A = this chain, B = another copy of it.
């Protein structure tokens, strides 16, 4: 397990450090989107706040995790699929936020629908965020 995570880091030209192993492991274990605050709590205040911020930013830059827009003012992060790489994210799936438990899911199999935009506007990226109740809360 640790070895697999180490490989991910090495493949991205990143030093293998305790902090990075731990944070990647948290994403793997939880299988859902995490906020900076979530990680800070779960890592048992073992790492500095700043280090966590910098690690998340590094992972986003490298295409290891992606950010998810939210209606309230918080950034969520989730693991990317193998198709993402440095500077090139392809996380074109729908995100679901459960209003009961607060969990944010990547619905990897639900593709983003095509939206028709008025003339003169050109589209780079479309984000779809669905709110509701998840399968565990009903």
Contacts and interface: CB of A to CB of B under 8 A. Distances in A.
A129 B127 contact: yes
A42 interface: no
Contact of A118 (B71, B110, B114, B127): B110
Interface residues of A, number: 37
Given A107-B117, A113-B113, A120-B135, A71 B127 contact: yes
Interface string A101-115: 000000101100111
Interface in A116-133: 116-133
Interface of A: 67, 69-71, 73-75, 94, 96, 99, 107, 109-110, 113-135, 138
Nearest to A136: B120
B126 A133 contact: no
Contacts of A132: 117, 121-125
A137 to B, nearest CB: 9
Given A123-B132, A124-B133, 9 more contacts: A107-B118, A110-B118, A113-B114, A115-B130, A120-B135, A121-B133, A123-B130, A125-B130, A125-B132
